[in-house]
Structure 1
């Protein structure tokens, strides 16, 4: 298993997930449940399901002719870049401290609540589409799975541990701009590969 596929998946998914609604949701869940570890466990369990589905779908797409796969992947990355750029311009990702009630539920409630929210919020998410695109272009779906899941788990860990401090210091719209640039670069790279192949 080439480490380059793992690193490519990580480098693609990590910056895209930073400004994502799931990171914000994880911060809010930690504030609500006051159990960062268990919120993280629930989020990672949900991410595992999504990454598995994305890699399976991407691998199926990868069976199509190269020109079709390249076009689909380039469009997915370009669409992701546009969505992230528009989100950055709108500056919509903000945390409302008043919306996070203070409670101290059980670890089980934190895991189940986090799992339920993330598993629903991630359907059709940019990172799921990016993971499918990477799997479609790779002969190493396991490496893509590992890299994408590691990126999602890392962002969830950051959100659970430092989320409020990160959002307070680094405006989310700036993170969105960086992620948009990564997606645009990947779209361009895919088009160049398609044209030069």
Structure 2
């Protein structure tokens, strides 16, 4: 496993997920349930979805390299546009809150799993994971980097989410994520053209 690929994957997924609905949903769930149980449920959902994304990315890697590079570049550009639009929306209006039932134990884990499992299908982080596996051809390294980023973001949400939002505005996080996507798109375009 290439530590550079792990690091790049971690960075890309981390900055994309930090301002995402996932962070906010996890934060809200942690106010309704015991935070550790929320983190377990969310972590399990991320593990399943990261596995699916890595497998899809590995399958895509069998396509011609130029096609994979072009598709990855387009996904990075689309991701940047989505994050910029969401950043603008968050500047203009407050995010709606997710409401969860007050339950404990395994029900909190299951509820957290189901909320995040449903919310993440086709999410930008899943698409980026697919693209990164296809681009670098290192599914294990991308899996480790992506899952680590998702677990850290969800951990931040359950532990320090409210405090983080006091210091860093949500739209700023969207713009940082968009910048990372633009850099990845630029690097991909450069590699494709050279």
Question: What band does the TM-score fall into relative to the shorter chain?
Answer: over 0.9
Q: Which residue of 1 aligns with 2:181?
A: 183
Task: Indicate how the Cα distance of structure 1 residues 4 and 101 shifts in structure 2: closer, same or farther if over 3 A, else same.
Answer: closer
- Structure 2: unaligned runs, 5 residues or longer: none
Contact map agreement 1:46 1:116 (CA 8 A) in 2: yes
Contact map agreement 1:24 1:159 (CA 8 A) in 2: yes
- Give the alignment of 1:88-127 within 5 angstroms: 88-91=87-90, 94-95=94-95, 100=99, 103=102, 105-127=103-125
Moved over 4 A (4+): 99-102
How far 1:93 sits from its partner (Å)? 7.4
Contact map agreement 2:29 2:100 (CA 8 A) in 1: no
- Inter-partner Cα distance in structure 1 for 2:24 and 2:69: 32
- Inter-partner Cα distance in structure 2 for 1:191 and 1:4: 19
How far 1:94 sits from its partner (Å)? 3.7
1:40-66 CA-to-partner distances (Å, cap 9, x unmatched) read 000010000111111111111111111
SS of residue paired to 2:19:
coil
Task: Say if 2:84 is the partner of 1:81.
Answer: no
- Give the alignment of 1:8-87 within 5 angstroms: 8-33=8-33, 35-87=34-86
Q: Which residue of 2 aligns with 1:136?
A: 134
Contact map agreement 2:72 2:185 (CA 8 A) in 1: yes
SS of residue paired to 1:24:
helix
TM-score by length of 1: 0.93
TM-score by length of 2: 0.95
Contact map agreement 1:88 1:174 (CA 8 A) in 2: yes
Residue correspondences, number: 193
Q: Which residue of 1 aligns with 2:149?
A: 151
Task: Indicate how the Cα distance of structure 1 residues 29 and 130 shifts in structure 2: closer, same or farther if over 3 A, else same.
Answer: same
- Inter-partner Cα distance in structure 2 for 1:117 and 1:24: 12
SS of residue paired to 1:41:
helix
- Structure 1: unaligned runs, 5 residues or longer: none
Task: Indicate how the Cα distance of structure 1 residues 94 and 30 shifts in structure 2: closer, same or farther if over 3 A, else same.
Answer: farther
